[in-house]
Chains A and B, each alone.
Chain A
Amino acid sequence: MARAEQSYPPPRPSAVRRREIWAGYGFLTPNLIGFLIFTLLPVLAALALSFTEWDLIRPIQWVGLRNYIRLLTNDPTFIKVLRNTTFFVLVTVPLRMVLALLVALVLNQNLRGTMFFRTAFFMPVVSSAVAVALVWQWIFHADFGPLNSILWMLGVSNPPNWLTSTKWALPALMIVSVWQGIGFNMVIFLAGLQGIPEQLYEAARIDGATGWHCFWKITLPMLSPTTFFVLVITTISSFQVFDLAVIMTEGGPANATNTIVYHIYRNAFQFFRMGYAAAIAWFLFVVIFILTLIQFRYQKNWVHYDL
């Protein structure tokens, strides 16, 4: 392909074509300007800041790699939040995907009430994170929360203390996050499912394929571009978990639910370590970037774009 382009340079675009190109850029401009000013510039500024020490008031001091060295060798809280966040991602990403796919498969049938359930599953996505967190706080209450009341009725004599124990607080947040995240992924999966041509299933059925076969041989492969997109988006958003931890547990007890982004916030706005906070933010960025690269690199083994 590349060679072909070299030997046949593209012809000079016609006047009409050129005008279209300029119009295209014209339409892009507002968004591009926004992106440059509010995304790219701050991201680059943060990179520069991560090599400095700045408390917002005293002059900025260049400190080279010191922030990164401290991050990797001398911040026990960072190790803790890194572990919490990784655990959180490893558990919630698969659950958010598998459960969303299951829900989407069920709601893709032509059954009565699917509209209602689609709306119901999507509700958490459009609900205020604060309200959601407050309601769940109550659900998790060790003595009076509905969750433990149910467990108690089922015969669990000593149900977990959920948010007030170092062992259960993070799993509790994971439950909320999964509940919250299913709706969005479900909608994407539904769109993907509806894009699979019906003839494929008809042909398969004529050849004697069971529902199970259809799922593995048609649905999953045909859905793989959607699954890939969902995987990338879900992974990124899981790494950025913050609001639930802030509202429900304030990162506690004993840092059990402290996360990377919460650690960034505290360093920047409570301890006035802008440079250090920027270094953690860049660390997180690089981790997410590498993971996303890996996902793109290996997608060709399982993602099928051709019909």
Chain B
Amino acid sequence: MKRRTLGLACLLLAMLVGMTAWVSAQEPVTLIWSFWGDPNELPPNYQVIEAFEAAYPYIKIETQHAPWSSYFDRIQTQMAGGTAPDVMFLNNIPSYAARGALMPLDDLIAKSGFDIEPYYDELLKIFKYKDVIYGFPRDNDTTILYYNKDLFDAAGVDYPDGTWTWTEFLDAAQKLTVRDERGRITQYGVVLESNKYFNFIHQNGADIFDDNLNPTRFTLDDPKAIEALQFMGDLINKYEVAPSFAQMLQLGNSTELFQTGRVAMAMTNAARIPTFQQASFRWGVAPLPAGPTGIRANSMSGAGYVISANTKHPEEAWTFLQFLCGVEGQTIFASTGVAVPAYRSDQTRDAFVSALPEGFGEIFLEDTEYGKIPPLFDGWVELNTTVVNPALDLLFIGEATAEEVVAMMKPDVEEFLAKRNQ
């Protein structure tokens, strides 16, 4: 009797120990993943979670969502309190990496053999700080020329065919600008975006710094850069085919202006497609026009995913990041058609192309190959906000020439560079 009890107890104990071992191997971990986005940008995030949790049942993903306008304040505060989400959607990676908020990924990449080859080299550069990788892009912010076919037809202008340079572009924009009897513009030829001015500079074979990630020299005073800026200024103030950015605060942004048929062409990214698909007119997309000497250039930038330096679950966070940024996650994002894949593979390409109307996807992907990165380094946001943009404002509202505004910003930018490179 006694022996039987003992035996039973032993058995129970063994079972208990066994169960504990099993449980600890599968100890569920909850990761917090934060992102911003409009309601129509969110569904792919939840698809990723569903697919990931199915593949890794012991990791649970909790989301933290905030709109763009309040997202960064919240993340800042959480970083300060050491409670940042484990995995974050973020931009301006170097400025966070410089402050030690992000986990360096080089060792993890080496250990796990995660393949980084498929990423655009140029794009991966903005996820590095001091040559160490801190994250991976979700997509590329490829800018494309959207055009309103109805307005083109009404003005008798041929659709952009991919061979346009600035000359044909300006010519079309002029024909597509309409004024009322009092001379007020009721329809603009084109709408630009203020944070894309470097596309024009790149298309003219110039740049803002000698190296946009580790600048030592300010090169915006190159006559070619000045010519590009002046071309933008002229579109707004001389030819009057585009609204100034200050005016767009009143009129509406590029998406709103194009969607309501108040401009014939817009230069913006793929995220606008779902909105434009609700428009009541026919429209198409074309590559950005090339510079006067035929140089093509597009934007190469984009937000991406990083791991917090303070995460309590680095292993699981890395597992999730690989899924998110690897072929599985990237295919899900690409299949929405609003995210130009940053990861080159047959799967992502097919997913993206088949999500869009026929012929659109190829144009995005082809122009992405001409992507060039804008300036991005620790301190750029401040330099841009306090020195570069206020000066450019004067050009874009027509109160100064490109040459004058570059001369205006040059001493301050050079002082900043001198301090930075001490």
Contacts and interface: CB of A to CB of B under 8 A. Distances in A.
A104 interface: no
Interface stretch (B12-20, B270-278, B325-333, B393-401): B393-401
Contact of B249 (A163, A165, A269): A163
Contacts of B101: 57
A56 B310 CA distance: 14
B247 interface: yes
B390 A270 contact: no
A84 interface: no
A21 B393 CA distance: 61
B80 interface: yes
B382 A270 contact: yes
A271 B385 CA distance: 9
A57 B250 contact: no
Given A140-B250, A144-B184, A254 B393 contact: yes
Interface in B362-406: 381-382, 385-386, 389-391, 393-394, 396-397, 399
A143 B185 contact: yes
B72 interface: yes
Contact of A252 (B99, B250, B390): B390
B390 A255 contact: yes
Given A56-B76, A254-B394, A269-B76, A164 B244 contact: yes
Contacts of A58: 99-100
- Point out which of B244, B399, B412 has the most chain A C-beta atoms below 10 A from its C-beta: B399
- Point out which of A57, A140, A144, A248 has the most chain B C-beta atoms below 10 A from its C-beta: A57
Contacts of B100: 57-58
Contacts of A165: 397, 399
B393 A76 contact: no
User: Chain A's interface: helix, strand, loop or mixed, by majority?
Assistant: loop
Nearest to A144: B184
Nearest to B82: A57
A45 B244 CA distance: 42
A249 B251 contact: no
Contact of A143 (B99, B184, B381, B382): B184
Interface string B91-122: 00001100111000000000000000000000
A166 B250 contact: no
A137 B250 contact: yes
A252 B246 contact: yes
B413 interface: no
B99 A266 contact: no
A288 B95 CA distance: 34
Interface string A139-168: 011111100000010000000010111100
B38 interface: no
B181 interface: no
Given A143-B184, A249-B249, A266 B385 contact: yes
User: Chain B's interface: helix, strand, loop or mixed, by majority?
Assistant: helix
B346 interface: no
Interface residues of A, number: 32
Contact of A253 (B95, B96, B246): B246
B1 to A, nearest CB: 66
Given A253-B394, A254-B390, A269 B73 contact: yes
Nearest to B396: A253
B355 interface: no
Contacts of A271: 381-382, 385
A77 interface: yes
A76 B383 CA distance: 12
Interface string B74-91: 001101100000000000
Contact of B393 (A140, A161, A253, A270): A253
Nearest to A164: B246
Interface in B162-193: 182, 184-185
A55 interface: yes
A145 B394 CA distance: 22
A243 interface: no
Given A57-B101, A140-B250, A164 B80 contact: no
Contacts of B244: 164
Contacts of B76: 56, 269, 272
B421 to A, nearest CB: 18
B412 A56 contact: no
A142 B247 contact: yes
Nearest to A76: B412
Contacts of A166: 394, 397, 399
A137 B250 CA distance: 6
Interface in A155-190: 161, 163-166
A143 B249 CA distance: 14
Contacts of A77: 386, 390
Contacts of A76: 412
Interface of B: 72-73, 76-77, 79-80, 95-96, 99-101, 182, 184-185, 244, 246-247, 249-251, 381-382, 385-386, 389-391, 393-394, 396-397, 399, 412
Given A164-B247, A255-B390, 6 more contacts: A56-B79, A141-B250, A143-B185, A166-B397, A253-B397, A255-B393
Leading 9 A-B pairs by shortest Cβ distance: A56-B80, A254-B393, A164-B246, A253-B393, A271-B382, A143-B184, A57-B99, A254-B390, A253-B246
15 contacts: A56-B77, A57-B96, A57-B101, A141-B251, A143-B184, A163-B249, A163-B250, A164-B247, A164-B397, A252-B389, A252-B393, A253-B390, A253-B397, A253-B399, A269-B76
Interface of A: 55-58, 76-77, 137-138, 140-145, 152, 161, 163-166, 248-250, 252-255, 266, 269-272
